[in-house]
Amino acid sequence: MGIFFEDINYAADGGLYAELIQNRDFEYSESDNHREKWNAKTSWTLEGSGTDWSIVTDNPLHANNIHSSLLKTDKVGARLVNGGFDGIAVKKGEKYDLSLFFLSKTVQKVRISLREGDKTLASTVVSLKSGAQWKQYGAVLVPSASAEKAVLAIEPMQTGELQLDFVSLFPQKTFKNRKNGMRADLAQTLADMKPRFVRFPGGCASHGNGIENIYHWKHTVGKPWERKGDFNIWNYHQSRGLGFYEYFQFCEDIGAEPLPVLSAGVPCQNSSRAGRDGKNDGQQGGLSMDEMKDYLQELLDLIEWANGDAKKSKLAAMRAEVGHPKPFNLKYLGIGNEDLISDVFVERYNYLCREIRKAHPEITVVGTVGPFWEGSDYEEGWKIAKQEKLDIVDEHYYNQPGWYFNNQNFYDKYDRNGTKVYLGEWASKGNKLENALVEALHLTNVERNADVVVMSSYAPLLAKEGHTQWNPDLIYFNNTEVKPTVNYYVQALFGQNSGDEYIPGDVEVMFKTDRSNRVSRSDVMKRIGTSVVRDSKTGDVFIKLVNCLPEDVNLTVDLNDIIKVETIKSGKNKTVGASSYYLDADYTVLTGNIAEGNQKPTSGTAKVHSESDDFSLEYTMPKYSFTVIKLKHTDVNKKGTKVK
């Protein structure tokens, strides 16, 4: 179980990335959002009179950051104001790191403040050094009151000309207190899922809208003001402040494997923008094969940057310079994202997969088989996977709940010895309990087929309220709240209660209203799901039970294949024999009205029944419910037996 992060629905800037200033580098353009005609002044306003404000490209801060603001002040009193992403949310007494660049020959003092209406929440005066070179200045702002719609104001305190760029404001309390880090509450919500891997930086955002928009990882590392922003296929701006270094660091912080997924040398087949030849790049466009040599090297460089020895490799030294001398230990690399399996794609895709595996046989290459669970892309993608003997391919599908009821054997028919499956994007098209339950049902089938389906992640992951471009999503949020869906709790419960050994077993179902009526009807059993897994490291066993029926169901779980008790034979100085025994069974249940989606799990404790060393657990599954029962491996001593 893992998570898939894509910069959609303002998931990065204004979301997981903790930066509070929007368009901090004045690099927004109409390419980002042509409908609203964005430009370098977007999200900034000039309040008051006496100052002229313009965007200039003279003396750029960096080649990747060519625009800056020029303020010409004839009369003091005006201020340049940024409203953040739907306002700047700050908390009373907490510390916020301010950073910005100035270039000035005349203005010596600038007042910078956090304001809400006419109220000043925090303020500092920055003393500037005159000169012809950019200089970075910083301060710590501590608001005197909390606010949800604060703004940052920059006010020249003398007449003259002042050039400024890259205005940044970060809470010091980021996730793990990382500089240039992630919003703490959102990141913790992801960490709580206990993901084993993180796929990033996107699906469609990876291969982009046209050739010029293909995602290049090197544009996202280095100092934040040196990174190269770009428009997003979802019609907003990517500052790339949340870049590959931050993704890898986050994976390390939560104990997850990084899974970067990058373009196969072709853009998204749904591209709407023309390429270098003036034609649409989508359906059949791609980098030329001459260009593919350089692009291959870019991907090989990623592996070197992530895994290389900082003392021997220039690329690895780049990683060390920003704070990570040890290798990241990258094991997986995804090539392509639900692409149209055209001749142009196949030529470039095969070239990359073959060359990467040849150069780095230790890297597991994850391929693609299109956007659906059937059809020509799926069939051709799987044909290539088998021909090339790829390690894993990435399957995607978004289906109605009925599909999941009727396809519980979907992975039963897969080749047990061939290419493995990463179920990288999937959902049941809704955020009601009904959707969450069929997703839980599907995951019991995925666990049963874990020798085939080795990885799984729901998509999309994040969505900011007021900026949602795709529904459903797993976690909704605004500037002050994180709102996990009922679907989130299903994913989290599977992630928190996972094992490495599947224990098969038969299920007997009895309705609560008639305990003598054992049910075997196929239409009823389609709505009952079970999965039992063991964690070999701890010995704990997890029983997952799904009831999609409108009635409580009595379930008896035979535990004799799980619990073994042996009589101990004692001698004077020796004890022979050991056995495992489970006493309490902790359970977590998710249930309620299937037409609603506000449910949260509740917990309790059940007892394991033992009679003459015959062990079973009886549990009544509430109607419309998902339950996880944890049998914790415990050391116990009983008369006549020793239990390990």
What span, in angstroms and rounded, lies between the C-alpha atoms of 509 and 126? 72
Report the half-sphere exposure of 481 (CA within 13 A, side-chain side).
Answer: 5
Residue 307: how many CB atoms within 10 A of its CB?
A: 19
- The alpha helices in 194-265, defined as continuous H runs, are 204-207, 244-254
What span, in angstroms and rounded, lies between the C-alpha atoms of 34 and 42? 12
DSSP H or E segment with residue 307: helix 289-307
Q: Is there a cis peptide before residue 171, judged by omega within 30 degrees of 0?
A: no
Burial class of residue 220 in the structure, from the number of CB atoms within 10 Å of its CB (0-12 exposed, 13-18 middle, 19+ buried): buried
Pairing label, strands 197-200, 257-262: parallel
Taking CA atoms, 330 is separated from 68, 198, 333, 465, in Å, by 37, 12, 8, 34
Q: Are 143 and 93 in contact (CB under 8 A)?
A: yes
| Cα-based torsion angle of the residue sequence 333, 339, 343, 347 in order, rounded to the nearest 10 degrees | -10
- The alpha helices in 414-462, defined as continuous H runs, are 433-448
DSSP H or E segment with residue 334: strand 332-335
What span, in angstroms and rounded, lies between the C-alpha atoms of 158 and 612? 90
SS3 state of residue 300: helix
Residue 423: how many CB atoms within 10 A of its CB?
A: 21
In the chain, helix, strand, coil percent, each to 5? 20, 35, 45
The residues that bridge with 588 in the sheet, in sequence order, are: 603, 628
Taking CA atoms, 13 is separated from 236, 243, 571, 601, in Å, by 10, 11, 69, 31
Six token digits for residue 228: 């190269």
Q: Are 264 and 336 in contact (CB under 8 A)?
A: yes
Report the half-sphere exposure of 403 (CA within 13 A, side-chain side).
Answer: 14
Question: Which residues belong to the active site?
Answer: 338
